[in-house]
Amino acid sequence: MGGFFITFEGPEGSGKSSQAKWLAQALRRRGHQVVFVRDPGSTVLGQRLRRVLLHTRRVRISPLAEALLFIAGRIQLVEEHVRPALRRGCVVICDRFHDSTMAYQGYGGGLDIAWLNQLGRRAIGGVMPRLTILLDVPTRVGFSRIRSPRDRMEQKARAFHHAVRQGFLKLARREPKRFIVLDATEPKSVLQQQVLTLVLRKLTHH
C-alpha cells in the first residue's frame, strides 16, 4: 500500500487527540493528502459502539466483551477508511488503535497479552501503523487534565490506569522501530514541533 499510517496513543489526559489533529492540519498545509480518524469512532458503527463503551452507566461489559467490541469497531474503521485511504496513497492519522486494546483490555483488564495481540492483528488483516507516537504521561498528571463527568473508562481505578500506562511503555519497548515515546508533560507547542519534525523525517525516508 502506498500511503503512510500513523497512530497516536497514550493514557488519559496525554493530549494525544489535540496533537493528532494539529499534525493532520500541519501536514495538509504542507500539501499532504491526510485522512484523520479516531478509534473508536469515525464510522456509524464506531460511534454507536463508542456510546455503549464509554457513555453508558448501567451496561455491564466484561473485559473480553469489551475487547471484542473495540476490535469490532476497528474492523469497520479499517475497512471503511484506513485501508482505502492507504491504497489512495494518503497519510492516515488515527487517534488510538490496536495498541489501546493491548494497553487497556490486555495490561489493564488482564486479558492474555499474546492471544489478544494475535486476535487484534488478525481482525484488521495486519493493517498496522508504520509509526506510533506514544504520548506518555504519569497517571496523576493525566487525570489532573481531564474534565468531568468522567466516562466509563476514566472512572476505572487509578491502579487500572497505572497498568495501562506501564502497558503502553512495554509495547513501545517491544517494538522500538514503530514507536516513538514523547514526554507529554512538555508544553503543547514543544510537543507539536517534536511530532512534526519526526513525522516529516519519516515521510521523506519512506
Where on the chain is the footprint of ligand TMP (CB under 6 A)?
Answer: 12, 38-40, 54, 70, 95-96, 100-101, 104-105, 153
Cα separation, 79 vs 127, whole angstroms: 10
Q: Which is nearer to ligand TMP, 29 or 114 (CB)?
A: 114
Please, which residue, 83 or 96, has the CB nearer to ligand TMP?
A: 96
Q: Which is nearer to ligand TMP, 4 or 8 (CB)?
A: 8
CB of 61 to ligand TMP, least distance (A): 10
Question: Smallest gap, in angstroms, from Cβ of residue 151 to ligand TMP?
Answer: 7
Grid cell digits, residue 3: 500511503
For residue 89, give the C-alpha cell.
Answer: 496513497
Cβ-proximal residues to 172 (8 Å cutoff; 6+ apart), any chain: 132, 134, 179, 181
- Cβ(85)–Cβ(127) under 8 Å? no
Q: Which three cell numbers stand for residue 108?
A: 489493564
Residue 204 C-beta: closest distance to ligand TMP, Å: 29
CB of 71 to ligand TMP, least distance (A): 7
* 53 grid coordinates: 463503551
Instruction: Kindly tell me which of 100 and 117 has the beta carbon lying closer to ligand TMP.
Output: 100
The three three-digit cell numbers of residue 20, written as one number: 493528532
